[in-house]
Amino acid sequence: MARLVMHVDMDAFFAAIEQRDDPELLGKPVIIGAQPGGRGVVSTASYEARVFGVHSAMPISEAHRLCPDGIFLRPDFRRYKEASDGLMEILRSISPVVEPVGIDEAYVDIGGLGRLLGPPTEIGAETKRRVREQLSLTASVGIGPNRLIAKIASDRQKPDGLTVVAPEQVVAFLAPLPVGDMRGVGRKTVPILHRMGIRNIGDLQRRSLEELQGSLGANQARALHLQCQGISSDSVGHQQERKSISKETTFQVDERDFDVIRETLLVLACQVGRTARKEGLAGQKVTIKARLPGFVTYTRQRKLLEPTLGDLEIFRTGIELFKAAPFAKGPFRLVGIGIGDLVPESAAKPMLMADASERRAQRLYQVLDTIRDRHGEVISLGKPGKKRGG
């Protein structure tokens, strides 16, 4: 049976939720991220804002310059997660094999569903209908014989698009697209390909592997040679094993106050610990990250005697690393903390083997996780009157 993969990608997800929940925002340029005058980047821009050149990951200062009349909003991740959960529920009502790859997109294995739901075009249309009716949002859908084609197809007719590519159409579908649409082709690779006379994927299809290797190296040449022919994985549902858990925050102004750094790291360590417990993982290594003015970035790490998922142990190790580092006096643009060398939670010290203080800490984590699940993360960073980004 031929595999068939559907990629569902929500349209301007965060901004669309804000417009859905506040009709006065409909038709207006909405930009989700930091406030103008602060540090940070655009998380999502509505399509009305994109007309002005605003896009995701753009510095807020640049977005404000391009679109001074835009409506700048801080993200509300609780509402976004609710909509994301609703999306995944809809997709699982269509197929039992769903692989989320972000809060607003997922791959769905729809192979073998023809008798139940009809041909691919009808499956895609039904998916979009359920999203529209149940979430009052729009999604763009791409369907193809593998993940690569499905992903590229979902981008073809945004917003609210539906593109289906049959196996025999793959090479022709890819040919006119710019080479920058391919995975692994970034700002450094595009000029190299252009110098070779390769502007679109069709140009790439006509080049031999040997020609590509001469300019790109063996690994990248092989990857692009396969991609341009539409050869990719059709496996859905097998997510890559997580290697680490980390959290970081960017300050709106460079921070020198070590009390603020300490408080920030404690909050971030709690978030790391909570994520680890929710996923049933423990870390054998703690890593800190610090970015100074000029985007100079440092990391330090320490191996632990035993795996941990405890907030306080993560924090204490991280703050010790910070104090011992030559950059400890800052000032800091960004700080972060995380755990790595992950193992199953069962590898951490069980409660029966812990001492009294450790048992109290573990029970406290359980209570705090329950409170956060019910009410969300409500934490203030820094001193009164000083705004922080995060």
Phi then psi for residue 307, to 5 deg, are -60, 150
Instruction: Catalytic residue, from 99, 105, 255, 313: name it.
Output: 105
Measured distance CA(341)–CA(260) in Å, rounded:
28
Check: CB of residue 318 under 8 Å from CB of residue 302: no
Check: CB of residue 325 under 8 Å from CB of residue 298: yes
Known catalytic residue: 133?
no
Q: In what order do the strands lie in the sheet with 5-10?
A: 98-102, 105-109, 5-10, 139-144, 162-164
Between helix 120-135 and helix 77-94 the angle, nearest 10°, is 140
Catalytic residues: 105
